Structure 1
Amino acid sequence: MIEEFWLIPLGFVAGILGSIIGLGGGIIIVPVLTFMGFSPTLAVSNSLFAVFSNSVASTAMYARQKRIELSLGWKLGLMAVPGTILGAFISSDIAPDIFKILFALVLISSASYIFLKRKIEEKPVDVSNILLVFSAGASFFAGIISSLFGIGGGLIFVPLMVVALGISMKRAAPTSQFILMFASFSGLIVHSMLGHPDYYQALLLSIGAFVGGILGARLSLEIKENKLKIIVIVILLAAAIKLVIDSTGVF
């Protein structure tokens, strides 16, 4: 059991990054666990516990800083729940190679848009009916990804808010963490019912992710908007490359 204590610093590092950019940390945890020999289902379910812990800690900090779009967060979070339930059920039955490639294209497109758009104005969030329908579909999709890959769904929510809704990165990341509480919690419940996680490993990851979430929320105040965008772009492209490699078996 002691030899598994390395999961705490893994959760801590992933939690800091996840909190700052709103991704929940799963994008780091799942690849590392997979590389260390964990089965995909175990890696995904353990990661969701860390994502939930990280989102709770960072949301508490961001709420104190008044940087969360609560109305939008509630809507997107609740829309994601059905997708997380579906994703958990199909996680052990589907080898989503084509899905991974399509998802990688979405990530590359989002990263390119954020890079090319010189300035994204922060504006009051007024979700029209058409945009609400689009956001509902994107949230459902993000929910599936959350439970299927254990990455929390922030890779969809952050670009959605920045690209489609014009929210600044300084507010999109905190709002994404708020949304991830819904997405990760519903996903981990279903994964637990299916007997997927190792609760001791999940606890160690969650401890590190919780502390990392608090620190990451504080550090985010010191990071400039452009630097935050660059971090998100790098993470999106790295995730896209990882998905393509996984689906094609290049390495």
Structure 2
Amino acid sequence: MDIFTSLVIPALVGIGIGILSGMLGIGGGTVLVPIFRLAFGMSPIMSTATSLFTIIPTSVSGAVSHIRHKTCVPSLGLAAGLGGACTSPIGVWLATISPAWMVMLAAALIIGYSAVNMLRKAWKMKPARAGVVAPAAPAGEPPVEAAVEQAGDAAANDDAAPEVPAGESSVAADTGKAFPKLTRKQLAIGAAIGLGAGLASGYVGVGGGFIMVPLMLSLVGISMKQASGTSLIAVMLLAIPGTIEQGLLGNIDYMAGIAVAVGSIPGAVIGARLVRLVPERTLRFIFGGFLIVAAVVLVLNEVGVL
């Protein structure tokens, strides 16, 4: 391949993947795996391995931006990331002994379920009114307590803020002033979420954001914007052990991975900035639509349509 095909095109693709990563809290693996499989002609195991390798710099770039702008919950991301780091090598091992179609089918099923769940919640939310800005927490007031007070005000006046779906706690109120403090139970739930995401990450070659974001929304109760950044913190941690294992097995195409990462790193920074400007309901629809496309692509690829 010439320089344009081997470096420039992958870098441009990486920019798009990075933007999705920064906005949606994903590592980009659900797009990278089909691209490496179809455009680069890699084997299924090399596609997943190279995807996992590329995910790390992408997620680091996006996570740093989210931390700077306080659109994440670092403690939850750390808990989920450490949990996932324990299981991602197991996922890699399972992928090496599984047929390719089984790996792709598992990915498509998980992604499809997450997409339906995300779109269902987005549909129930009320569109945010233009120009409505959530009140900032008073000086010295803990962010979680401020969130509770704001949630009560919103309940008294439906026009004050967009509706929060049933099952999500008041932690979801995003003040943007300080990181919310979670309970030990919430952090334990985060670690459990990470265990499942890490297994999927190693097995399918994705970051696991498509699992963590919906579960963080429904089980922990943070907002979509917080879940996106928190997921990236977890992804950059849980992908490391699986990547090391894949590297030792010789399954990574480093040239292709680096070429995509060159574009995905600045793209993730752009996406992390955009997440503060996009309404939460819109962000949910974007995320759900993206997951559906990813699931369909994986299935079509395995049945030989693509």
Q: TM-score under structure 2 normalisation?
A: 0.73
For the residues of structure 2 that align with 1:81 and 1:63, how far apart are their CA atoms?
A: 20
- In structure 2, relative to structure 1, the CA distance for the partners of 1:13 and 1:186 (3 Å cut) is same
Alpha-carbon separation, structure 1, partners of 2:64 and 2:206: 20
Equivalent residue, structure 2, for 1:67 = 71
Q: Which residue of 1 aligns with 2:203?
A: 148
Contact 1:30 1:44 in 2 (8 A): yes
* One-letter amino acid of the structure 2 residue matched with residue 182 of structure 1: L
Partner of 2:183: 126
* Structure whose CA Rg is larger: 2
Deviation, structure 1 residue 126: 3.2
* 8 Å Cα contact 1:114/1:229 also seen in 2: yes
SS of residue paired to 1:91: helix
Residues 126-169 of structure 1 deviation map (CA, whole Å, 9 limit, x = unaligned):
3538x93x654442221122122222111111111012222111
Call closer, same or farther: CA 1:108–1:44 in 2, change over 3 Å: closer
Question: 2:241 and 2:117 mapped to 1: Cα distance?
Answer: 31
Aligned to 1:94: 98
Aligned match of 2:47:
43
Aligned-partner residue type, residue 77 of structure 1: G
1:208-223 pair list within 5 angstroms: 208-223=263-278
Point out where structure 1 has 5 or more consecutive residues left out of the alignment: none
* Identity in percent: 31
Q: Partner of 1:4 in structure 2? A: 6
Q: Does 1:28 align with 2:83?
A: no
Question: Are the equivalent residues in 1 in contact too, given 2:15–2:267 (CA < 8 A)?
Answer: yes
CA distance in 1, matches of 2:33, 2:54: 10
Amino acid at match of 1:32: I
The 1:113–1:199 alpha-carbon spacing in structure 2 relative to 1, beyond 3 Å, is closer
Provide the rounded CA distance (Å) in 1 between the counterparts of 2:202 and 2:184: 26
| 1:146–1:61 Cα change, 3 Å | same
TM-score, normalization by structure 1 = 0.88
Compare 29-38 and 173-182 and name the one that shifted more.
Answer: 29-38
Q: How many residues align?
A: 248
Tell me what 2:249 maps to: 194
Distance 2:109 2:97 in 1: 23
The CA distance in 2 between the partners of 1:222 and 1:14, in whole Å, is 19
The question of whether the paired residues in 2 share the 8 Å contact of 1:46 and 1:199 is answered with yes
Q: Deviations over 1:41-93 (max 9, x none)?
A: 22222212221111111111111111221111111111101221112223232
Q: CA deviation at 1:109?
A: 3.6
- Find the counterpart in structure 1 of residue 155 from structure 2: none
Distance of aligned partners of 1:226 and 1:218 in 2 relative to their CA distance in 1, 3 Å threshold: same
Question: How far has the Cα of 1:196 moved from its partner?
Answer: 1.0
- Correspondence for 1:113: 117
Counterpart of 1:171, as a letter, is Q
1:27 aligns to what SS in structure 2? Answer: helix
In structure 1, how many angstroms separate the alpha carbons of the residues matched to 2:202 and 2:191?
17
Give deviations 1:167-187, integer Å, cap 9, x for gaps: 111100000010011122222
Structure-2 separation of matches of 1:105 and 1:203: 29
Q: Secondary structure at the match of 1:196?
A: coil
1:19 matched residue in structure 2? 22
The residue that corresponds to 2:57 in the other structure is 53
The residue aligned with 1:242 is 297
Bigger proportion of residues as helix: 1
* 4+ residue runs over 6 A deviation: none
Deviations 1:3-52 (A, max 9, x none): 31121111111111111101111111111111121111222222122211
Stretches of structure 2 that go unaligned for 5 or more consecutive residues are 125-163, 172-181
Read off the aligned partner of 1:45 and give its amino acid letter.
A
Task: Write the distance in 2 (CA, Å) between the matches of 1:98 and 1:28.
Answer: 18
Q: Using the alignment, how far apart are the partners of 2:300 and 2:32 within structure 1?
A: 17
Say whether 1:169 aligns with 2:172.
no
Distance 2:101 2:43 in 1: 17
